[in-house]
Amino acid sequence: MIGLSLAEIADAVSGVLHTGGSALTADSVVSGPVHTDSRNIEAGAIFVAKPGEVTDGHLFAPQAVDRGASLLIVERHLDLPVAQVVVPDVVVALGALAADVVTRVRALGRLKVVGVTGSNGKTTTKNLLGAVLERVGPTVAARGSFNNWVGAPMTMLEVTDDTRFLVVEMGASGSGSILRLVRLARPDIGIVLSVGLAHAGEFGGIEATADTKAEMVTELLGTDVAVLNADDPRVAGMAAKTRADIVWFGQGPTATVRASDLHASASGTTFVLQLASGESRTVSFRVLGEHHVMNALAAAAAAERLGVGIDDIVAGLESVARAERWRMEVLGGRDGVTIINDAYNASPDSMSAALKTLAQIREPGMRTVAVLGEMAELGELAGEEHDRIGLLAVRLNISQIVVVGTAARRMHISTINEGSWDGESTFVDTADAAFELLRDSLQPGDTVLVKSSKSAGLRFLGDRLGDLFS
């Protein structure tokens, strides 16, 4: 974090400063990293005692002090020999501190902020854009999927006076959640990737999801830029809700940043990238799955508006070998067995895209195996969407399906009801049972997709299979 006095921090978070028992005063400046996990504390760090679903960060404040924390942000004063800022809500305070830091750095005149949202592809796009921007200037981008009211501010707090680009991933937990993050970060560029059925059960349907994703662009200024997916009608409709200048990306004719001549394989996708300037280049994109080309286009569109040239854009895109841990992550290799571990998130859209990729990269004469678990948070749509994925797997002629867990069982039933298979689909209750089955049944040359929502835990099954065939 940039250097701020204790008084400035207390003012930023509307808190009450207590320095009793500490060697610091209100004018003392701290600049250490900010953490919500006491295990990550180092000398000079700031510890935010966040209450959790299972435990309370205040209980770990003594360990944070022992590890050298210089300041605690807490909801009640603790009997500890360290400076403390007491606030009504530490999560709100964390956001306020992050907003203050970004405002101060932005005032220096160099920092540009990009916000990224969408039902699918946020983390991949954030990683791609970060890889491009860091080629031309100091860049801060979220680690992993730091995209909620805690993770996004933690990313923002990593900026320094030298930071030129900040890329903030913004997820949604319901109406108003993205708007809250937008008001903290104040993006110069807002990217909306897609509107799909991910979290539709939480939001109350896809139209409510679209309204929530539109919060990314509704408060952008006329001097800002909205990067919108021209191929998604619900995203395209957001053009009427923003004052910002619009850059369209996609594969259709209305896109100004677009891809053509796509060719997908097990090593990635090659395509011709055309920028809004009219410049074009062939990109050898190593992230597995043709659907990730849209994320590359969004990153390229934002980067171009930030003044990055096409050579650096292409080099940045080509430098990224995987979307993220547990996202189309290629493992294995022994006996020609390839494991594609894509079990961090799953929605009907991402499940369909992953299955189509599996079918697309099939080597002649070799088998494809789909290990599928629950798609969570679909509400009343869950049954029919699991049915639809089972039918899609049949129609894509996937060689073998293993459905894992009771919540996903309808995928198995729908494949049987399709009537075109005879034993190609198997249902098991647990990931352990799936591992035992696959350990004994996988054949040399198989390509295996492991796909589910995070809650199903199949990402660990993917890791075990990757280790087995490494």
Q: Find the CATH number of the domain harbouring 431.
A: 3.90.190.20
More confident residue, 214 or 345: 214
Q: Are residues 333 and 302 in the same domain?
A: no
Mean pLDDT of the chain: 93
Give the pLDDT score at 275.
Answer: 98
Q: Are residues 166 and 302 in the same domain?
A: yes
Evaluate if residue 388 carries a pLDDT over 70: yes
Which residues does 322 contact at the CB level (< 8 Å), separation at least 6? 286, 287, 288, 328, 329, 330
Q: What is the pLDDT of residues 157-205, one digit of tens each?
A: 999 999 999 999 998 777 889 999 999 999 999 999 999 765 555 556 7
Give the pLDDT score at 207.
Answer: 87
- In 334-442 the beta strands, taken as DSSP E runs, fall at 338-342, 368-372, 400-404, 425-428
Say if CB 133 and CB 139 are below 8 A apart.
Answer: yes
Give the pLDDT score at 325.
Answer: 82
CA distance 159 to 32: 12
Identify the residue whose tokens are 């079918």. 359
Q: What is the pLDDT of residues 270-294, one digit of tens each?
A: 999 999 999 999 999 999 989 999 9
Q: Are residues 186 and 249 in the same domain?
A: yes
More confident residue, 344 or 187: 187
CA distance 137 to 188: 17
Q: Are residues 314 and 360 in the same domain?
A: no
Which residues does 17 contact at the CB level (< 8 Å), separation at least 6? 6, 7, 9, 10, 26, 83, 84, 85
Give the pLDDT score at 185.
Answer: 97
pLDDT-derived band at 419, boundaries 50, 70, 90: low
**H-run or E-run covering 228:** strand 225-229
CA distance 201 to 298: 27
CA distance 147 to 166: 13
Say if CB 439 and CB 433 are below 8 A apart.
Answer: no
| Residue 120 is labelled as binding a ligand | yes
CA-based nearest residue to 179, from 142, 121, 220: 220
CA distance 390 to 401: 9
Q: Are residues 304 and 349 in the same domain?
A: no
What are the structure tokens assigned to 86, written together? 């007491």
Q: Are residues 221 and 304 in the same domain?
A: yes
CA distances from 55 to 37, 58, 78 (A): 12, 9, 17
CA distance 171 to 120: 10
Q: What is the pLDDT of residues 116-145, one digit of tens each?
A: 999 888 999 999 999 999 999 999 998 776
**Residue 155 belongs to some domain of the structure:** yes
Number of H helices, E strands in the chain: 17, 22
Backbone angles phi, psi at 347, to 5 degrees: -125, 170
CA distances from 101 to 34, 137, 158, 248, 463 (A): 12, 19, 9, 31, 39
Give the pLDDT score at 422.
Answer: 67
| Residue 124 is labelled as binding a ligand | yes
Q: Are residues 207 and 249 in the same domain?
A: yes
Say if CB 349 and CB 197 are below 8 A apart.
Answer: yes
Evaluate if residue 449 carries a pLDDT over 60: yes
**Residue 98 belongs to some domain of the structure:** no
Q: Are residues 302 and 359 in the same domain?
A: no
The Cβ of residue 73 has, within 10 Å, a number of other Cβ atoms equal to 24
**Residue 127 belongs to some domain of the structure:** yes
Q: What is the pLDDT of residues 6-58, one digit of tens each?
A: 999 999 999 999 998 888 999 999 999 999 999 999 999 999 999 887 789 99
Q: Are residues 65 and 26 in the same domain?
A: yes
Evaluate if residue 461 carries a pLDDT over 80: yes
Percent of the chain exceeding pLDDT 90 equals 83
Identify the residue whose tokens are 């090659």. 270
Say if CB 199 and CB 208 are below 8 A apart.
Answer: no
Give the pLDDT score at 154.
Answer: 95
pLDDT-derived band at 236, boundaries 50, 70, 90: very high
**Residue 96 belongs to some domain of the structure:** no
Average pLDDT of the segment spanning 68-86: 97
pLDDT-derived band at 323, boundaries 50, 70, 90: confident
| Residue 365 is labelled as binding a ligand | no
Which residues does 288 contact at the CB level (< 8 Å), separation at least 6? 266, 268, 322, 323, 328, 330, 340, 357, 361
**Residue 93 belongs to some domain of the structure:** no
Q: Which domain holds residue 72?
A: 4-88
Say if CB 193 and CB 228 are below 8 A apart.
Answer: no
| Residue 123 is labelled as binding a ligand | yes
Give the pLDDT score at 86.
Answer: 98
Average pLDDT of the segment spanning 212-240: 97
What are the structure tokens assigned to 455, written together? 């809650």
Residue 34 sits in a domain of what CATH number?
3.40.1390.10
Burial of 334 (0-12, 13-18, 19+ CB in 10 A): exposed
Which residues does 314 contact at the CB level (< 8 Å), separation at least 6? 273, 281, 283
**Residue 20 belongs to some domain of the structure:** yes
Which ranges of 361-430 does DSSP label H, i.e. alpha helix? 382-395, 409-418
Q: pTM for the full model?
A: 0.89
Domain count, the chain: 3
Q: Are residues 296 and 436 in the same domain?
A: no
Give the pLDDT score at 421.
Answer: 59
pLDDT-derived band at 345, boundaries 50, 70, 90: confident
Q: Are residues 344 and 417 in the same domain?
A: yes
Q: Which of 266, 294, 319 is the last residue of a domain?
A: 319
| Residue 103 is labelled as binding a ligand | no
Give the pLDDT score at 54.
Answer: 79
CA distance 39 to 35: 9
Task: Indicate the DSSP class of residue 15.
Answer: -
Q: Are residues 244 and 379 in the same domain?
A: no
Give the pLDDT score at 273.
Answer: 98
Give the pLDDT score at 418.
Answer: 77
CA distance 323 to 168: 16
**Residue 102 belongs to some domain of the structure:** no
Give the pLDDT score at 197.
Answer: 66
